[in-house]
Structure 1
């Protein structure tokens, strides 16, 4: 009889223990799933904002510093790596890394490449120099005409065409005609806001002129780009991004 009671007690205790474990672990699992879920930030609508004012604000940016993830494809071949970029309207300093080691470096000033290791061919130079500079400094377009479409603005000059979303006032596509009529096609995606950590770091290092108004469309940037040229495709993801005004 005593053995039977002890056995019943063990069964009950086991059931209670299992219940306690279930109810204590379940919230932890939910918390883990929630914390691991990708965070989506909705871009506010800037349809009432003035495009010219936004471009004027962006033109105050002197330099852009970014860390990039780069996927490079040509036909059936592909290569991935990282890059650090320091960019202004007149200069580009780009370092390419593969498996954590410096694999290449490109420096350009006033349209002249002054450092090129390993030496880039014409196509790669077009992508890395013309493509990167004009994709990030998209607002540097000169002597353009503006045409308003249903959901976008089209800015156009003799060799560039830029489509800007009315909702976000960010570019969605850009077409650049370079040597011999060949075209660079740039596609933009995944708008994100410059995060608070980067802003605080920038404020401490170079003063408040780095930061723009949080409510301004110029505080957002596209974190994913796709550059197409001939049979080359370069996919870029922006890991970190900061500007100096």
Structure 2
């Protein structure tokens, strides 16, 4: 008798919750009135998490594989995998960098700086100018310039100087991603970072923007 009562109660609960109306997840489109409004709203996102495919070339040597990337206000982590197995990582907190990949620490710092600024291109205090079909964002306290397409305010390229070395970043293949505030917006899915004699190619498989 106890078993029958337990079964009846379980069946009742299943029917109640199984037939309950499922909530529809509401996704809102990112909207900005102008480029200043766009930058202001983007700066609410102070971090990212993503799954990547990377290809790093330096003087004939290559490092490639899948990677996990996490960036927040003062930390950057790039963990590299090959055939599903972790092969090493590069980590930066404030100005300190540690790495167990087969690259020198100064190179690791340059790589993470290029990745951090490449992904979080909207972080900074900018002077904004127009040139043809582009907006030009000049960093007030750094030798950094970001070029945006006027159509959608998407990044086309950026350049800056880090430790007396110029770094160029190119963006391509824009796709919609979802932020953790359920906002949908376009972001580049391919990023190429050019150093003096090195190239880092990044294909983004998954990306999530994180509020500050």
TM range (shorter): 0.7 to 0.9
Q: Radius of gyration: which is bigger?
A: 1
**d(CA) in 2 for partners of 1:78 and 1:95?**
16
Note the C-alpha offset of 1:155.
Answer: 1.1
Given that residues 89 and 137 in structure 1 are in contact (C-alpha distance below 8 angstroms), is that contact kept between their aligned partners in structure 2? no
Q: State whether structure 2 residue 189 is matched by structure 1 residue 223.
A: yes
More strand by percentage: 2
| Residue matched to 1:104 | 88
Given that residues 89 and 140 in structure 1 are in contact (C-alpha distance below 8 angstroms), is that contact kept between their aligned partners in structure 2? no
Aligned residue pair count = 179
Partner of 2:91, secondary structure, is strand
Structure 1: give runs of 5+ residues left out of the alignment.
Answer: 1-45, 203-209
TM-score, L = length of structure 1: 0.67
| Residue matched to 1:233 | 199
Q: State whether structure 2 residue 45 is matched by structure 1 residue 61.
A: yes
Partner of 1:167, secondary structure, is coil
Cα root mean square deviation, aligned: 2.1
| Residue matched to 2:209 | 243
Matches within 5 A, 1:163-202: 163-180=147-164, 182-194=165-177
CA deviations over 1:204-244 (Å, ceiling 9, x no partner): xxxxxx222x4xxxx11110000000110111000001122
| Residue matched to 1:87 | 71
| Residue matched to 1:118 | 101
TM-score, L = length of structure 2: 0.77
More helix by percentage: 1
**d(CA) in 2 for partners of 1:123 and 1:179?**
11
Given that residues 194 and 221 in structure 1 are in contact (C-alpha distance below 8 angstroms), is that contact kept between their aligned partners in structure 2? yes
Note the C-alpha offset of 1:124.
Answer: 3.5
**d(CA) in 1 for partners of 2:191 and 2:85?**
24
| Residue matched to 1:159 | 143
Stretch of structure 1 that moved more, 157-166 or 185-194? 157-166
Matches within 5 A, 1:136-155: 136-142=119-125, 144-155=126-137
**d(CA) in 2 for partners of 1:89 and 1:112?**
14
Note the C-alpha offset of 1:55.
Answer: 1.0
Given that residues 67 and 80 in structure 2 are in contact (C-alpha distance below 8 angstroms), is that contact kept between their aligned partners in structure 1? yes
CA deviations over 1:9-30 (Å, ceiling 9, x no partner): xxxxxxxxxxxxxxxxxxxxxx
Q: State whether structure 2 residue 37 is matched by structure 1 residue 50.
A: no
Structure 2: give runs of 5+ residues left out of the alignment.
Answer: 1-30
Given that residues 99 and 108 in structure 2 are in contact (C-alpha distance below 8 angstroms), is that contact kept between their aligned partners in structure 1? no
Partner of 2:151, secondary structure, is coil
Residues 111 and 119 (structure 1), Cα distance of their counterparts in 2 relative to 1, 3 Å cut: farther
